[in-house]
Structure 1
């Protein structure tokens, strides 16, 4: 089911109480601590933001189940996600071709598409051709590696939720960059969300925060846009992509027509990793390991995009 476009501000939001700065900082910190991710995510508050810092590399299965692979692999990336501590509902949707928020395990959250930034017109209808879930681009946990070789979620982060110590309808699973929290498929009290209650960004009013976002079984699945005021919106962080040292290495991948089979990511104790898959009866792989230089990896690849040719190179963030 695709919901109709709802752009008008919820007037009742303006009258609702919102948390004070200190309380909002505490709420962000508690959401990470209560979920059990304090060992991998740090939260520091400034006068304006709570910064969630992580390596974006979750401690759960990754890449399994992907059919429409773009032949990118997940590589740890230092990332600081800024969450506004004095959120202000605006009612005008903001979109971008990068993360709109972050999960409590430090993994960035994108909208459901893989086709670049959405326009206001795009928000009004389901973009089936860019739907990362329906086109088989996501793993069983709701994420994949993007063009920056960074892991992120496009739909409900099911594996992360299964790991949360406080998993349940009242648990905050993430934060949007406008400062509003993200909850699961139901209201925090466990009740079913009424049909049509969620707006175009997948959000609705909230008694504590003024506004909140939700995941959903139907598109758009997760935060599709931001309804809060975000100054310097164009300056929100992006994961720095890997670049080839000396110009060597493989070209960016393209999802093979018809999809791949048996894609598996193997992680070894020495830090090396291998993503293996098959296509039309032929085996392919991307193997990479720390090169000894900080944030750099040596790659050996044989991909569909490059016709199975074995290529090598060092890539760094």
Structure 2
């Protein structure tokens, strides 16, 4: 049997079993019990996409944990204009919790950090860039804070935040291009309420009109109970969570780098007025990664090289934020 057909059958079968749990819960008013089947579904979504070498999935205490460095194997940062002068650096044991029981909620919830994780281990944020979203802002498009419209994103749909953490704000196009099972029926990620994320179309390939999606960019689903979607129009991706989250305030964040002994604290980058030009991110044979760009005709950069201490880096920067003064030091996750 074709392995792809086997995987598709597994996902369909598990999904139908999950739906049976949702239906029973809605009839009885009880919360559907967690099963090993939801764990297998999350594992299959990562494995079938081809990311099991860099993303591990473990299930315990009612949750599936997607663990990774949050650092994807595709082009990063190239072409960004609205830079915040931050650079993508691997996280230290990032672990995203996905409930094994996904339960519909009553009110949408949002936060100034990740709402979901992609199957390649990269966090997914809403479309705004600096925590501007609140429950009161969900029902109108904040064009001034739209990371896509303000050219803050690379061609893959992501950028680095204040924690020097790479994450997506819109459709993760480069990840999708790399997926072994790319297609309308492929799960792209998991929200922190346990519901899956799909692409622009329904899993059966039929188109979705903007009117069908709710405020969080999702809709009800016969298989999973509910599902999120990406979209070409704002809000582009998961904007809020429609399901229950047991401990919403404790959802994970990637902490900023801290200075090692003898190094000065690192000031967060500030967006240069009018944006930068010619941004490119590259890695050389020695392991040094460099973000290079120009501003008003002057060259700037942020470079780092791993040290012998795990999760620590020697950094050298020349940024607009620091008025072009070259600074260096060792910083750690």
For the superposition of Structure 1 and Structure 2, which TM-score range results when normalised by the shorter chain?
over 0.9
Residue in 2 that maps onto 1:70: 84
What's the counterpart of residue 110 of structure 1? 125
Aligned CA distance change for structure 1 residues 307 and 117 (closer, same or farther; 3 Å) = closer
**Distance between the aligned counterparts of 1:20 and 1:167, measured in 2?**
28
Secondary structure, aligned partner of 2:105: strand
2:174: which partner in 1?
A: 159
- 1:27-70 per-residue CA deviation (whole Å, 9 max, x = no partner) reads 10000000000000000111411100000010000001100111
Cα distance between partner residues in 2 of 1:174 and 1:222: 11
Q: Secondary structure at the match of 1:136?
A: coil
Q: Given the alignment of the two structures, is residue 261 of structure 1 paired with residue 280 of structure 2, yes or no?
A: no
- 2:79 and 2:155 in contact (8 A); partners too: yes
**Gaps spanning 5+ residues in structure 2: where?**
1-22
Q: What stretches of structure 1 of length at least 5 have no aligned partner?
A: 1-10
Indicate conservation of the 8 Å contact 2:76/2:154, yes or no.
yes
Task: Please give the root-mean-square deviation of Cα atoms over the aligned residues, in Å.
Answer: 2.0
Higher helix share: 2
Q: 2:312 aligns with which of 291, 296, 299?
A: 296
**CA distance 1:155–1:15, shift in 2 (3 Å):** farther
Equivalent residues in 2 for 1:45-56 (5 A)?
45-56=59-70
2:102 equivalent to 1:87: yes
Which of 216, 224, 237 is residue 252 of structure 2 equivalent to? 237
| Larger displacement relative to structure 2 (108-117 or 219-228) | 108-117
**In structure 2, how many angstroms separate the alpha carbons of the residues matched to 1:252 and 1:195?**
37
Residues 1:316 and 2:332 aligned together: yes
Contact 2:34 2:62 in 1 (8 A): no
CA distance in 2, matches of 1:81, 1:249: 28
Greater RCO between the two (CA within 8 Å, min separation 6)? 1
1:177-256 correspondence runs (5 A): 177-245=192-260, 246-248=262-264, 250-256=266-272
DSSP-derived class of the 1:270 partner: coil
Give per-residue Cα distances to partners, 1:66-87, cap 9 Å, x unaligned.
0011110000002000000111
In structure 2, the residue matched to 1:147 is 162
- Counterparts of 1:250 and 1:22, CA distance in 2: 44
Q: Matched residues in 1 for 2:258 and 2:272: separation?
A: 23
How many angstroms apart in 1 are the aligned matches of 2:151 and 2:191?
Answer: 25
Contact 2:106 2:242 in 1 (8 A): yes
TM-score by length of 2: 0.88
